[in-house]
């Protein structure tokens, strides 16, 4: 009952609800860009919103969050893949960056909402990253294949359990498996095995 | 995806290059064995034994191994012959057997597609 009053009097005030949404999104973006934020505060606000009503939570946080995340990751992927971009990354760096973002987003979602809302949020945000950074840039990821195979010749000969065992080749497979695009990789692999000539 | 390298082709050259480049004939089987071993390691490791990748690999091997009609079969036969004669002096029985198994795996690709 107290929460209902709270909801009606405060949350339903457009200015307040918009301010809350803006602040939440700004917080997440700051952390994505490398600034430390208060996870405790973020977690408290989100937990509160989630306890009000599903509609409230969705309207004030989930929907705007996912929309903003799509834009964020679209821009980020473009900045790292466009040939004229100052922050363009090589195939291996981009791949490792994708893995880093997936881990970061999953961890954030789990830590700020330790409930069913949390795992649902995690699924949704990971889907955004997968779409914007992997699915929409498959060619960029796959073109690194010859380079990863050469690198694997080194990594693959390290003793089992060695820290550097995780290879780009393995990451590439994992990342494409997530978006059901392994057929792109197997086609590239076929071409590699059949015709590729490495540099001397 | 084919990149010209200039004068010397790396020992790590893949597929067709090993079979087509006549200057490599004396090392062809060694290069093929090495390549096959690396490929197997990749299939088992990073590619998690995914059956689609295994099939694609077999398809690719069948194509490039047969690129110079009968040349690979000839080289494999010579290699086997050589190893059988000298190998029994320098290799143990199990080493010899293992080597023959690996050569046989390559030999199978040269028969062409029967399925």
ipTM of the complex: 0.79
Dihedral sign for Cα B65, B66, B67, B72, please. Answer: positive
Q: Please name the residue ranges forming H helices in chain A.
A: 2-6, 14-32, 39-52, 54-57, 63-81, 91-112, 116-129, 138-142, 145-155, 168-178, 182-195
pLDDT at res. A200: 24
State whether residue A187 sits within 8 Å of chain B by CB.
yes
Question: Model confidence over B54-102: pLDDT tens digits?
Answer: 999 998 888 877 776 577 778 888 888 888 888 667 778 888 888 888 8
User: Residue A107: is it exposed, middle or buried by C-beta count within 10 angstroms (0-12/13-18/19+)?
Assistant: exposed
Mean pLDDT, rounded, for A50-72:
92
pLDDT value at B12 more than 50: no
Mean pLDDT, rounded, for A171-193:
94
A153 closest CB neighbour out of B2, B5, B38: B38
Question: Model confidence over B20-62: pLDDT tens digits?
Answer: 776 766 777 888 888 888 899 999 999 999 999 999 999 888 8
State whether residue A167 sits within 8 Å of chain B by CB.
yes
Spatial distance between the Cα atoms of A89 and A94, rounded to a whole number of angstroms: 5
State whether residue B6 sits within 8 Å of chain A by CB.
yes
Across the interface, whether the CB atoms of B12 and A195 are under 8 A apart is answered no
Contact B104, B38 (CB under 8 A): no
Which residues on chain B are in Cβ contact (under 8 Å) with A199?
3, 5, 10
State whether residue B80 sits within 8 Å of chain A by CB.
no
pTM: 0.79
State whether residue A156 sits within 8 Å of chain B by CB.
yes
Using alpha carbons, select from B114, B110, B113, B97 the residue that is nearest to residue B19. B110
State whether residue A189 sits within 8 Å of chain B by CB.
yes
Residue B10 — very low, low, confident or very high, per pLDDT cuts 50/70/90? very low
Between B11 and A171, residue with greater pLDDT: A171
Mean pLDDT, rounded, for A20-39:
95
Using alpha carbons, select from B76, B65, B87, B85 the residue that is nearest to residue B27. B76
Which residues on chain A are in Cβ contact (under 8 Å) with B48?
173
Please report how the helices A116-129 and A63-81 are oriented relative to each other, as an axis angle in degrees rounded to 10.
Answer: 30
Mean pLDDT, rounded, for A45-68:
91
Which residues on chain B are in Cβ contact (under 8 Å) with A182?
50, 52
Contact A189, A172 (CB under 8 A): no
Across the interface, whether the CB atoms of A198 and B52 are under 8 A apart is answered no
pLDDT at res. B42: 92
Between A126 and B5, residue with greater pLDDT: A126
Using alpha carbons, select from B36, B101, B110 the residue that is nearest to residue B75. B110
Q: Report the chain A residue with the minimal C-alpha distance to residue B8.
A: A200
State whether residue A5 sits within 8 Å of chain B by CB.
no
Question: Model confidence over A106-129: pLDDT tens digits?
Answer: 999 999 987 777 788 999 999 999
The secondary structure element, H or E, covering residue A59 is none
Please report how the helices A168-178 and A182-195 are oriented relative to each other, as an axis angle in degrees rounded to 10.
Answer: 140
Between A10 and B39, residue with greater pLDDT: B39
**Token pair belonging to B45:** 């490791």
């Amino acid at each position: 009952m107290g929460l209902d009053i709270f909801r009606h009097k405060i949350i339903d005030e457009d200015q307040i609800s918009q301010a809350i949404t803006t602040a939440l999104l700004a917080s997440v973006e700051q952390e994505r860009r490398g600034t430390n934020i208060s996870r405790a505060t973020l977690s408290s606000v989100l937990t509160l919103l989630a306890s009000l009503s599903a509609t409230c939570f969705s309207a004030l946080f989930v929907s705007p969050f996912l929309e903003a995340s799509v834009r964020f990751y679209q821009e980020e992927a473009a900045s790292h893949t466009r040939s004229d971009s100052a922050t363009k990354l090589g195939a291996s760096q981009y791949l490792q960056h994708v893995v880093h973002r997936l881990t970061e987003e999953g961890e954030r979602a789990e830590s700020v909402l330790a409930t069913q809302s949390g795992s649902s949020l995690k699924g949704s945000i990971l889907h955004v990253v997968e779409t914007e950074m992997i699915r929409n840039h498959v060619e960029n990821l796959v073109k690194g294949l010859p380079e990863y195979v050469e690198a694997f010749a080194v990594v693959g000969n390290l003793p089992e359990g060695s820290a550097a065992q995780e290879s780009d080749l393995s990451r590439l497979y994992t990342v494409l498996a997530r978006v059901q695009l392994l057929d792109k990789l197997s086609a590239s692999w076929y071409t590699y095995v059949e015709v590729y000539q490495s540099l001397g | 995806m084919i990149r010209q390298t200039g004068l010397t082709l790396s020992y790590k050259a893949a597929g067709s290059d090993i079979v087509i480049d006549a200057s490599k004939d004396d090392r062809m089987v060694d290069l093929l064995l090495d390549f096959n071993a690396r490929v197997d390691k990749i299939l088992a490791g990073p590619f998690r034994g995914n059956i689609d990748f295994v099939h694609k690999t077999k398809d690719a091997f069948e194509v490039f191994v047969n690129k110079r009609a009968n040349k690979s079969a000839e080289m494999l036969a010579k290699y086997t012959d050589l190893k059988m004669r000298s190998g029994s002096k320098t290799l143990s029985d199990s080493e010899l057997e293992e080597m023959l198994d690996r050569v046989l795996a390559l030999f199978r690709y040269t028969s062409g597609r029967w399925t």
